[in-house]
Amino acid sequence: MAWFCSSCGAPLPEEPPTTCASCGAQHWRNPKPCGGALLVRDGRLLLARRAIEPWLGRWDIPGGFCDQREHPRDAAERELYEETGMRGRAMRLVGMWLDDYAGDEVCLNIYYEMEPAGGGEPEPVSDEVSELRWFAPDELPLDDISFPAHCREVLATWRDSQNGG
């Protein structure tokens, strides 16, 4: 893969992080921040089945990429609404996990436990979601979850916090 300077267009001497030999611009590679929503009602967690790649058909935690000046908490609340039709309010930070996304993208995934803000039932309002379901802590689909390299641990962390641990 060839890398080019975004300032002057010259080829870069190596994969970033590096400095352009032609104009001196510095180049970095950083993970992309994502916000994720663990919406809980009556002790059960809302998950969405993916209707898109990657991980088509697997269960997923609602969430997505942050806009440039969007706090991950706000991104998580926005994505929750866009994917499920449910408004949620972030109550606590559950944790942060780094993971590969697709290609050579890396995401910093930041998860919040939420409570419903308003009523209603979840609806798969997005083309990205085929099904929505509430899961009790002992029903979590740990073997059928998307992005298993980090989402299994997210679910286990949430489950353990529900058990008083």
Binding site for Zn ion (CB under 5 A): 5, 7-8, 10, 20, 22-23, 25
Residue 29: CB minimum distance to Zn ion, A: 16
CA distance 149 to 147: 6
Question: Which CB atom, from 7 or from 149, has the smaller least distance to Zn ion?
Answer: 7
* Beta carbon nearer to Zn ion, 24 or 54: 24
Q: How many CB atoms lie within 10 A of CB 118?
A: 8
Alpha-carbon gap, residue 80 to 86, rounded angstroms? 6
Nearer residue to Zn ion within complex by CB, 4 or 149: 4
Cis peptide before 54, with omega less than 30 degrees from 0? yes
**Cβ distance to Zn ion smaller for residue 23 or 91:** 23
What burial class does residue 21 get, using C-beta atoms within 10 Å of its C-beta: 0-12 exposed, 13-18 middle, 19+ buried?
Answer: exposed
Neighbours of 140 (CB within 10 A): 20
Q: Minimum distance between the CB of residue 26 and Zn ion, rounded to whole angstroms?
A: 10
Closest contact distance (angstroms) between CB of 3 and Zn ion is 11
Residue 103 CB, nearest approach to Zn ion (Å): 24
